[in-house]
Amino acid sequence: MWREKYRPTSLAEIEGQDDVIDRLKSFAERKQLPNLLLWGSRGVGKTSSVLALARELYGSHDENLFIVECRDFVEQRKKWLRADKRFRFYYDEHKSALDIFKEMIRSYAVLAPINAEFKLMAFNNADLLPVDAQQALRRIMERSSRTSRFIFITTKPSAIIPAIRSRCLNLHFQPLTLTKTRTQTKSGAMDRVLLRIASQEGLELTDQGLEMLKRYAGGDAGTAIDIMEAASVVSDSNRIGSEEIEIVVQELRKRSNKVADLIDMALAGRYQELRADLKVLMRDEKMSGKEIVEAIHDVMLHRKARLGARRLAKIMMHIGDADYKLCSAFNSMIHIEELMVRCRHWHL
Q: Which residue has the higher pLDDT, 242 or 140?
A: 140
**Other CB atoms within 10 A of residue 22 CB:** 10
- The pLDDT of residue 246 is above 80: yes
155 in the same domain as 33: yes
76 in the same domain as 9: yes
pLDDT (0 to 100) of residue 10: 92
Per-residue pLDDT band for 234 (boundaries 50, 70, 90) equals: confident
Give me the amino acid identity at 234: V
Q: Look at residue 183 and tell me if it is in a domain.
A: no
339 in the same domain as 264: yes
Domain count along the chain: 3
Q: Look at residue 247 and tell me if it is in a domain.
A: no
CA pair distance 132, 139, nearest whole angstrom:
11
Q: Which residue has the higher pLDDT, 145 or 324?
A: 145
Across residues 298-317, what is the average pLDDT? 83
119 in the same domain as 12: yes
Q: Which residue has the higher pLDDT, 268 or 286?
A: 268
Residue closest to 117 by CA, chosen among 33, 22, 25: 33
Q: Which residue has the higher pLDDT, 78 or 110?
A: 110
- The pLDDT of residue 269 is above 80: yes
Q: Look at residue 265 and tell me if it is in a domain.
A: yes
Concatenated DSSP letters of 138-183:
HHHHHHTTTTEEEEEEES-GGGS-HHHHTTSEEEEPPPTTT---SS
**Average per-residue pLDDT in the chain?**
86
208 in the same domain as 104: no
Per-residue pLDDT band for 169 (boundaries 50, 70, 90) equals: very high
Q: What percent of the chain has pLDDT over 90?
A: 35
Beta bridge partners of 97: none
CA 41 to chain centre: 9
160 in the same domain as 100: yes
- The pLDDT of residue 128 is above 90: no
- The pLDDT of residue 346 is above 80: no
The sheet with strand 65-69 has its strands ordered as 65-69, 119-124, 148-154, 36-39, 169-172
pLDDT (0 to 100) of residue 330: 66
Q: Which residue has the higher pLDDT, 322 or 163?
A: 163
Per-residue pLDDT band for 34 (boundaries 50, 70, 90) equals: very high
225 in the same domain as 264: no
Q: Which residue has the higher pLDDT, 300 or 50?
A: 50
Across residues 267-273, what is the average pLDDT? 84
91 in the same domain as 60: yes
Q: Which residue has the higher pLDDT, 31 or 94?
A: 31
The model's pTM? 0.76
Q: Look at residue 248 and tell me if it is in a domain.
A: no
Q: Look at residue 215 and tell me if it is in a domain.
A: yes
Per-residue pLDDT band for 347 (boundaries 50, 70, 90) equals: low
Q: Look at residue 299 and tell me if it is in a domain.
A: yes
pLDDT (0 to 100) of residue 186: 42
pLDDT (0 to 100) of residue 279: 85
Which residue range forms the structural domain that includes residue 335? 253-343
- The pLDDT of residue 296 is above 90: no
Render pLDDT for 182-221 as a digit per residue (tens, 0 to 9): 454 444 888 999 999 999 999 999 999 898 888 888 788 9
CATH at residue 194: 1.10.8.60
CATH at residue 301: 1.20.272.10
Concatenated DSSP letters of 213-240:
HHHHHTT-HHHHHHHHHHHHHH-SSSEE
Q: Look at residue 110 and tell me if it is in a domain.
A: yes
